[in-house]
Structure 1
Amino acid sequence: MSVPSPQPRSVVEQIPVYVPGRPPTPRPGLTTYKLSSNENPFPPLPGVIEAAHAAVDLANRYPDMGNTRLYEGLAARLGVPADHLAAGTGSVALIYHLLQAFCDPGDEVVHAWRSFEAYPIAIASVGAVSVPVPLDEQWRHDLDAMAAAITDRTRIVLLCTPNNPTGPALTQTELDAFLDRVPSHIVVVVDEAYLEFVRLDDAVDGVATYRGRSNVVLFRTFSKAYGLAAFRVGYAVAPAPIAAALRAVSLPFGVSTVAQAAALASLDAHDELMRRVDHLVAERDRVTAALRDQGWSIPDAQGNFVWFGVGERTASFAAACEDAGIVVRPYGTDGARVSIGEPEGNDRLIEVAGSFGL
């Protein structure tokens, strides 16, 4: 006779597995490059390591659960009230928090696809229903189709701009027209993880958009442009009731003392931040131009990565890159995303792409 064992909720078995970008395998005599995780190749900004080291001295104490100084710094930088902010362990944590706060089992969440891989994972974790809307032929959000996908069960719409992993960003005109079509009781997330890299006419002004709408939430992170991926600090900017709901469901003491100190010090190094971002944008544009000269149809790249829509040849392309000492991020049979890294690694990508064949 079998003995019953504990069983997780039925939705747990339906949660897709998150596939992280993996590091390269060491190759004797060959410098390898990890271009699979959209990491910043620069070290932390000036003052960050010193602030983090000082914070380690307080490791015997709990973090400030209210993130008081970090909220003060962000409020001053963005010109928003501190009670319109909510922090989490990376912006991905805030996705989970929002779903916990606003979705009951069976509620629907509309999002583009392919987009950020964590969206369907987080949606499944709360028993909500993922409503993926295919990207258009330019690998952009199809906002008309997304608006048409909204039903009376929709609670949240997720917009990723620039879109990870494909690269294009929304314009303010597009966003405003879409928001006008969304009922005001539905939360619309403008996920701006790659905000600092956008160089686009009519670029989205997230803060102005949230100020003018009672249902718009911005998600931002210190992992990408700021180069604090290992510290896990993200934040939301939202109307006070939504921000309060996010804070209510967040893990107590989630953002560590060291992470708070590092993020705050990063805010103080804004000029150096933008110099580094400008360098990465110039590298992105150089790589994109070189690939297009080879005949590649690279979508508009507004993040710190480029997209190869190679379809059924995705695995072969990733293998060719790995043979050359660079690791990229394949996505099934859709394509591969390649981060902009060190110039030498970027040059290696151009070489591989040129010999791979269209």
Structure 2
Amino acid sequence: MSTPNREVTVAAVGALPDAVNPMALSLNENPFPPLPAVRSALVSAIDSGNRYPEFLPERLRALIAGHVGVRDEQVVIGAGATGVIMQVLNAVTNPGDRMVMASPTFDGYPIFAHMARLEPVTVGLDAHGHHDLDAMADAAAKARVVVVCRPHNPTGTVESPADIERFLRRVPPQTVVVLDEAYAEFLSPHHRIDGPALVARHPNVVVVRTFSKAYGLAGLRVGYGFCGPDLARRLWSMQLPFGIAITGLVAVAASYDAESELQQRIRMITAERRYLRTRLRAMGIYSTDAHANFVYLPSWGRQWRKMFDDTGLQVRGYADGGVRITVGSRQSTRAVLTAVRAAVH
């Protein structure tokens, strides 16, 4: 019996994601397209689309290591931060091990624990969205991996460098700490931690970062981690051959060359975040002290999640009624404020 031919076309595949939808505020994407220099580099790279990338991403590894300030052999590369995290879990855990995380946290962590067949252990945040680092350190005593997001996702809060240091001193050396810094570029200088010095003091720490947020390259899926050399060798053994496209290397190199333009965009996003929080505060609405490209409205008796239904805004809702709202353009900020005002009144 013959089967009907099915023509595969661009139209059949469907439209690409809308790059300019100002109401898409659920995934913490950068509201800007790639920087002009990055776009030009990506266009030029298309002519190499018929060739495989490096077997292992040695050039990208060296590029990132030089920018961060660590040795090449301390860096691992993944398909976004999520790819790096899965490399960590595959390298250092066995089924049934415990993985400690905050609650709520980045949606991926419960999924990663399930994929690696780990037992997730959750520790609640306080009322203002901060980690309970003492409770997490207690839980880490019987865990193989513990995760701290800084800034935290979804609340955007930041624990002080001194508090992080005290926490790390309490974690057993055989427990691997994933310090998730997906939003580190949005931190002001006095909130930043010296990552290379940190992993030198604590060889059980893996600092994980991404080019998906501040760099605006979420669609290219490039992330990295760095840690002490011994742990990095174990993680590098999980590096997927041909796993990072040529476009990733080209985009990262162009992004580093356009650092001043990148910083200007970061300043624009953080200024819009401050404006949104200020306007919310003027309306009597509390949001956590966020230091990323989003704001978080804890429920505190309000069902924000339901209040944003049918507003046309795509926000990330949580089971308790809280919501995380990506900072976008002034147009989307006005839409958020209009929705909140309508919900309150």
What SS does the aligned partner of 2:219 have?
coil
Counterpart in the other structure of 2:331: 344
What SS does the aligned partner of 2:308 have?
helix
Please tell me whether residue 332 in structure 1 is matched to residue 319 in structure 2. Answer: yes
| TM-score, normalised by the number of residues in structure 1 | 0.87
Is the 1:233–1:259 Cα contact (8 Å) retained in structure 2?
yes
| TM-score, normalised by the number of residues in structure 2 | 0.90
Alpha-carbon distance between aligned partners in 2 of 1:122 and 1:250, rounded to the nearest angstrom: 17
Alpha-carbon distance between aligned partners in 1 of 2:195 and 2:66, rounded to the nearest angstrom: 16
Is the 1:62–1:253 Cα contact (8 Å) retained in structure 2?
yes
What do you get for the CA RMSD once the two structures are aligned?
1.9
Is the 2:150–2:157 Cα contact (8 Å) retained in structure 1?
yes
AA aligned opposite 2:216: G
Alpha-carbon distance between aligned partners in 2 of 1:200 and 1:49, rounded to the nearest angstrom: 28
Deviation at 1:54, TM superposition (A): 2.1
Counterpart in the other structure of 1:285: 274
Please tell me whether residue 210 in structure 1 is matched to residue 199 in structure 2. Answer: yes
Alpha-carbon distance between aligned partners in 2 of 1:240 and 1:209, rounded to the nearest angstrom: 13
Unpaired runs of at least 5, structure 2 = 1-16
Alpha-carbon distance between aligned partners in 1 of 2:195 and 2:307, rounded to the nearest angstrom: 36
Alpha-carbon distance between aligned partners in 2 of 1:32 and 1:276, rounded to the nearest angstrom: 16
Deviation at 1:208, TM superposition (A): 2.3
Is the 1:33–1:327 Cα contact (8 Å) retained in structure 2?
yes
AA aligned opposite 2:328: G
Alpha-carbon distance between aligned partners in 2 of 1:32 and 1:163, rounded to the nearest angstrom: 24
Deviation at 1:97, TM superposition (A): 1.0
Is the 2:103–2:122 Cα contact (8 Å) retained in structure 1?
yes
What does 1:245-264 correspond to in 2, within 5 Å? 245-264=234-253
Please tell me whether residue 36 in structure 1 is matched to residue 36 in structure 2. Answer: no
Counterpart in the other structure of 2:12: none
Please tell me whether residue 63 in structure 1 is matched to residue 53 in structure 2. Answer: yes
Deviation string, structure 1 residues 136-161 (Cα, Å, up to 9, x no partner):
11111110111121233x11110001
Alpha-carbon distance between aligned partners in 2 of 1:315 and 1:299, rounded to the nearest angstrom: 16
Counterpart in the other structure of 1:195: 184
2:259 pairs with one of 270, 280, 283: 270
AA aligned opposite 1:252: P
2:228 pairs with one of 220, 235, 239: 239
Number of equivalenced pairs: 327
Counterpart in the other structure of 1:16: none
Is the 1:173–1:202 Cα contact (8 Å) retained in structure 2?
no
Please tell me whether residue 145 in structure 1 is matched to residue 135 in structure 2. Answer: yes
Counterpart in the other structure of 2:215: 226
Counterpart in the other structure of 2:66: 76
Counterpart in the other structure of 1:115: 105
Deviation at 1:313, TM superposition (A): 1.2
1:353 pairs with one of 318, 340, 344: 340
Counterpart in the other structure of 1:102: 92
Counterpart in the other structure of 2:11: none
Deviation string, structure 1 residues 147-185 (Cα, Å, up to 9, x no partner):
121233x11110001111111012101100101101111
Deviation at 1:201, TM superposition (A): 4.0
Counterpart in the other structure of 2:5: none
Is the 2:211–2:222 Cα contact (8 Å) retained in structure 1?
yes
Is the 2:141–2:171 Cα contact (8 Å) retained in structure 1?
no
Is the 1:314–1:331 Cα contact (8 Å) retained in structure 2?
no
Deviation string, structure 1 residues 180-202 (Cα, Å, up to 9, x no partner):
10111111111000001113744
Alpha-carbon distance between aligned partners in 2 of 1:200 and 1:130, rounded to the nearest angstrom: 33
Deviation string, structure 1 residues 210-251 (Cα, Å, up to 9, x no partner):
122111110000000000000000000111222222221232
Is the 1:189–1:217 Cα contact (8 Å) retained in structure 2?
yes
What SS does the aligned partner of 2:208 have?
strand
What SS does the aligned partner of 1:131 have?
strand
Is the 1:318–1:329 Cα contact (8 Å) retained in structure 2?
no
Structure 1 residues 32 and 271 mapped into 2: Cα distance closer, same or farther (>3 Å)? closer
Alpha-carbon distance between aligned partners in 2 of 1:186 and 1:38, rounded to the nearest angstrom: 30
2:175 pairs with one of 170, 182, 186: 186
Is the 1:105–1:128 Cα contact (8 Å) retained in structure 2?
yes
Please tell me whether residue 130 in structure 1 is matched to residue 117 in structure 2. Answer: no
Deviation at 1:94, TM superposition (A): 1.1
Deviation at 1:259, TM superposition (A): 1.7
Post-superposition, which runs of at least 4 consecutive aligned residues in structure 1 deviate over 4 A? none
